[in-house]
């Protein structure tokens, strides 16, 4: 039997894989994202296929139930919550792990028929600030560049990105390009000296949260060097940049001078930014401060040049496309455009279409904690671990009368709290598409039978919609039909009002969908493939602001959270692979030795904030900046008691994007 062509389910690089009938996984040499490469997680995919502990049957109130009974219970829960609270009292919380077709179904159900904007994605934690920044600068959520630009650039600036660990195949591509062109330079902007800094030409160890000050300083330098632009908003952006020269960052002035000079002198510059920039109460301003500098040098959407937001999850981009963030509509349509709203209402035959945006992730769970959410459906995510102020989130879920969780695994911190559990298909079992960080849509294909009674998420949504009286609008025969509808929605903004255009794929046959090769949008006509985009842009004023909560004598250190090389999210899949666990087998808090007085290297320590605490192994690590503590975000109480670091993370959010400030919580560290 031939190998199955599919896509890795982990990060936003979106690598193509080939899977043998025996489950051996190798990189797909024909996929444009990876050209045959894989990282440690992708290589170990075959070892996750027979994952123990799967949720195999629906459950209601702790007892096994038939699908019919479970779906009836979900429908009843949502009907009751709608009657009691109205559309504001029902919600879905979904995931960048979903396939686009599942995502589309959930969003249509919520915004089109429940009539609520309350559907948000865990992508809110990942790149919501980049989305908001793109929309302010370009009028639409557009990533202008493609991965090849990292290879064509003469200068690559990595901001808040441990690319070597978090997007390893992109890092491999970058390293290969540098080996071929040693004159290429790499600058890393990060409070930590991460693995990505190895071999970099310059590391700028800025104070956590000071990225806006850095790029405002660069904007002033570029302007002072004679750069000019006709784009709107430059004067306001310069005024907001103030007189600062980047000194607020704490970076050695000589390093700043070097960076500014390199940026000004290098037309082919890519600035790649990721979660280290986005996860901040000024994350949106960080995105715009970066875009401002590229706009002033005229380097957006050019070969080897431009701002480049890289997503964390495999299908964060797909969620952005279908409107699965509470702040967006399907197909990049705009709530502020009445004609587009009417077009969607008519296309879906959805008279109850939500009137406007709903609650973003942190707000959503706060509303649940206040008893304002009567029914909440969570799919493919573990907010009891991953959201900030995680103890409050757990308490909030306990207050929801109808808590539904669709999951692959029988036990997780979130599944444990559910009243209704629905068994979902996992990687290798389901069919659909994902979109990676460079706008390439790739197929995930099934090659294994469904375990137990697990079913696709889109099917469960359609069944509940039918029970609520909306069956006709959800009568898809399969994921190909959903994809065609998704593609057709993108044509509603015509003529050519949006770059996101899949209208050339709206007529795909089932067979075409089955063999769909990796395809970058926009695709306005069948057979076309998209490339770089040079959207019209405007400058955005980005005054520098400190993080939401300042350090104090009680909490003198700054907690940063992030990823490990070999783990994914709350470890439900990667935690079951011994060779992945071997890389970093226990939860560790890393602290600069100069801040570690009274704290033993290798001893246990409590990292405590005003919100909560976690107990971890302490490691003295000079790679961590003075005044900071770094803790991986993966560990749950299931793997190590009391190691859930998000219990200590503050729930402050960016005012534009609602993205939580996961990269700055005042804490103290004390011996246990």
Question: Can you give the binding site for ligand SF4, defined by CB under 6 A?
Answer: 8, 10-11, 13-15, 34, 38-39, 41-42, 167-169
- Candidates 187, 199, 141; CA nearest to 161 is 187
Query: Which of 567/636 has CB closer to ligand SF4?
Result: 567
Give the count of beta carbons closer than 10 Å to the beta carbon of residue 638.
17
Partners of 653 in the β-ladder = 660
Q: How far apart are CA 372 and CA 364, in angstroms?
A: 9
Give the count of beta carbons closer than 10 Å to the beta carbon of residue 554.
11
Least distance from ligand SF4 to the Cβ atom of residue 6, Å: 11
Say which DSSP state 505 is in.
Answer: G
Least distance from ligand SF4 to the Cβ atom of residue 9, Å: 7
- Candidates 595, 634, 596, 637; CA nearest to 615 is 637
Least distance from ligand SF4 to the Cβ atom of residue 304, Å: 21
Query: Which of 421/569 has CB closer to ligand SF4?
Result: 569
Q: How far apart are CA 581 and CA 639, in angstroms?
A: 11
Residue reference for tokens 């935690």? 575
Least distance from ligand SF4 to the Cβ atom of residue 11, Å: 3
The torsion region of residue 598 among left (phi > 0), alpha (psi -120 to 50) and beta comes to left
Least distance from ligand SF4 to the Cβ atom of residue 318, Å: 14
Query: Which of 65/99 has CB closer to ligand SF4?
Result: 99
Query: Which of 174/499 has CB closer to ligand SF4?
Result: 174
Least distance from ligand SF4 to the Cβ atom of residue 436, Å: 8
Query: Which of 193/565 has CB closer to ligand SF4?
Result: 565
Token code pair at residue 26: 């190798």
Least distance from ligand SF4 to the Cβ atom of residue 142, Å: 22
Query: Which of 178/664 has CB closer to ligand SF4?
Result: 178
Query: Which of 427/539 has CB closer to ligand SF4?
Result: 427
Q: How far apart are CA 276 and CA 205, in angstroms?
A: 13
Query: Which of 96/168 has CB closer to ligand SF4?
Result: 168
Least distance from ligand SF4 to the Cβ atom of residue 10, Å: 3
- Candidates 172, 153, 143, 152; CA nearest to 273 is 143
* Cis before 522 (ω within 30): yes
> What is the CA 551 to chain-centroid distance, rounded?
27
Query: What are the DSSP calls for 226-284, one per residue?
Result: T----STTHHHHHHHHTT--SGGG---HHHHHHHHHHHHH-SSEEEEE-HHHHSSTTHH
- Residue 165 sits at the vertex; the CA angle it makes with 205 and 18, to the nearest 5 degrees, is 155
The gap between the terminal CA atoms of the chain, to the nearest Å, is: 56
Partners of 420 in the β-ladder = 60, 404
Least distance from ligand SF4 to the Cβ atom of residue 163, Å: 10
Least distance from ligand SF4 to the Cβ atom of residue 33, Å: 7
Query: Which of 173/332 has CB closer to ligand SF4?
Result: 173
Query: Which of 262/447 has CB closer to ligand SF4?
Result: 447
Query: What are the DSSP calls for 115-168, one per residue?
Result: ----EEEGGGGTTHHHHHHHHHHHSS------THHHHH-SEEEEES--HHHHSH
Partners of 579 in the β-ladder = none
Least distance from ligand SF4 to the Cβ atom of residue 421, Å: 28
Q: Give the gyration radius of the chain's Cα atoms.
A: 24
- Candidates 301, 270, 309; CA nearest to 153 is 270
Least distance from ligand SF4 to the Cβ atom of residue 48, Å: 12
Q: Are 659 and 312 in contact (CB under 8 A)?
A: no
Least distance from ligand SF4 to the Cβ atom of residue 186, Å: 18
> What is the CA 69 to chain-centroid distance, rounded?
34
Q: How far apart are CA 423 and CA 409, in angstroms?
A: 8
To which H or E segment does residue 106 belong? Answer: helix 100-107
CA dihedral of 122, 127, 133, 136, whole degrees rounded to 10: -40
Least distance from ligand SF4 to the Cβ atom of residue 639, Å: 20
Closest residue (Cβ) to ligand SF4?
A: 42
Q: How far apart are CA 526 and CA 666, in angstroms?
A: 53
Token code pair at residue 4: 């199955």
Q: How far apart are CA 404 and CA 425, in angstroms?
A: 16
Least distance from ligand SF4 to the Cβ atom of residue 114, Å: 33
């Amino acid at each position: 039997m031939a190998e199955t062509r599919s896509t890795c389910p982990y990060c936003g690089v979106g690598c193509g894989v080939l899977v043998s009938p025996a489950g051996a996984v190798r990189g797909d040499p024909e996929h444009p994202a990876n050209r045959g490469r894989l990282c440690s997680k992708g290589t170990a995919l075959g070892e996750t296929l027979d994952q123990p502990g799967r949720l195999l049957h629906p459950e209601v109130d702790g007892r096994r139930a038939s699908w019919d009974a479970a779906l009836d219970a979900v429908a009843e829960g949502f009907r009751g919550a709608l009657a009691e609270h109205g559309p504001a009292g029902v919600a879905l919380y979904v995931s960048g792990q979903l396939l686009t077709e599942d995502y589309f179904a959930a969003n249509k159900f919520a915004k089109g028929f429940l009539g609520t904007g309350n559907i948000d994605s865990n992508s809110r934690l990942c790149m919501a600030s980049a989305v908001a920044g793109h929309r302010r600068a370009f009028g639409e959520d557009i990533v202008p560049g493609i991965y090849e630009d990292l290879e064509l650039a003469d200068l690559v600036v990595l901001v808040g990105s441990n690319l070597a660990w978090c997007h390893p195949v992109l890092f491999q591509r970058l390293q290969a390009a540098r080996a071929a062109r040693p004159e290429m330079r790499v600058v890393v902007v990060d409070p930590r000296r991460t693995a990505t800094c190895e071999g970099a030409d310059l590391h700028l160890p800025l104070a956590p949260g000071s990225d806006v000050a850095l790029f405002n300083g660069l904007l002033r330098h570029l302007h002072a060097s004679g750069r000019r632009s006709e784009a709107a908003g430059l004067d306001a952006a310069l005024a907001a940049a103030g007189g600062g020269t980047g000194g607020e960052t704490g970076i050695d002035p000589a390093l700043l001078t070097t960076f500014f000079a390199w940026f000004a002198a290098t037309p082919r510059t890519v600035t790649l930014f990721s979660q280290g920039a986005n996860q901040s109460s000024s994350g949106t301003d960080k995105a715009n401060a970066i875009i401002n500098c590229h706009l002033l040098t005229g380097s957006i959407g050019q070969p080897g040049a431009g701002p480049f937001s890289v997503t964390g999850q495999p299908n964060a981009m797909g969620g952005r496309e279908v409107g699965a963030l509470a702040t967006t509509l399907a197909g990049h349509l705009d709530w502020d455009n009445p004609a587009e709203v009417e077009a969607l209402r008519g296309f879906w035959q959805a008279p109850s279409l939500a009137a406007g945006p709903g609650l973003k992730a942190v707000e959503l769970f706060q509303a649940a904690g206040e008893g304002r959410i009567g029914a909440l459906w969570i799919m493919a995510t573990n907010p009891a671990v991953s959201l900030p102020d995680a103890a409050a989130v757990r308490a909030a879920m306990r207050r929801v009368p109808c808590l539904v969780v669709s999951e692959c695994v029988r036990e997780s911190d979130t599944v444990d709290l559910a009243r209704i559990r629905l068994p979902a298909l996992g990687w290798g079992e389901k069919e659909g598409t994902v979109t990676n960080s460079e706008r390439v849509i790739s197929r995930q294909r099934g090659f294994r039978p469904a375990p137990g009674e697990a079913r696709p998420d889109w099917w469960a949504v359609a069944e509940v919609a039918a029970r609520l009286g909306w069956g006709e609008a959800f009568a898809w025969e399969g994921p190909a039909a959903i994809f065609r509808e998704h593609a057709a929605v993108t044509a509603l903004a015509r003529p050519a009002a949006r770059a996101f255009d899949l209208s050339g794929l709206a007529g795909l046959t089932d067979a075409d969908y089955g063999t769909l090769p990796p395809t970058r949008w926009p695709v306005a006509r069948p057979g076309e493939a998209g490339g770089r985009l040079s959207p019209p842009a405007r400058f955005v004023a980005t005054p520098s602001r400190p993080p939401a909560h300042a350090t104090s004598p009680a909490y003198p250190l700054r907690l940063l959270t992030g990823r490990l090389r070999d783990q994914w999210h709350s470890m439900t899949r990667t935690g079951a692979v011994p060779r992945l666990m071997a890389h970093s087998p226990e939860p560790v808090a890393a602290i600069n030795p100069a801040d570690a007085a009274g704290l033993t290297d290798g001893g246990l320590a409590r990292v405590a904030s005003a919100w909560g605490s976690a107990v971890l192994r302490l490691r003295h690590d000079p790679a961590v900046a003075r005044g900071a503590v770094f803790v991986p975000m993966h560990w749950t109480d299931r793997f190590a008691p009391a190691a859930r670091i998000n219990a200590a993370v503050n729930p402050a959010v960016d005012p534009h994007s609602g993205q939580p400030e996961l990269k700055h919580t005042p804490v103290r560290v004390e011996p246990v």
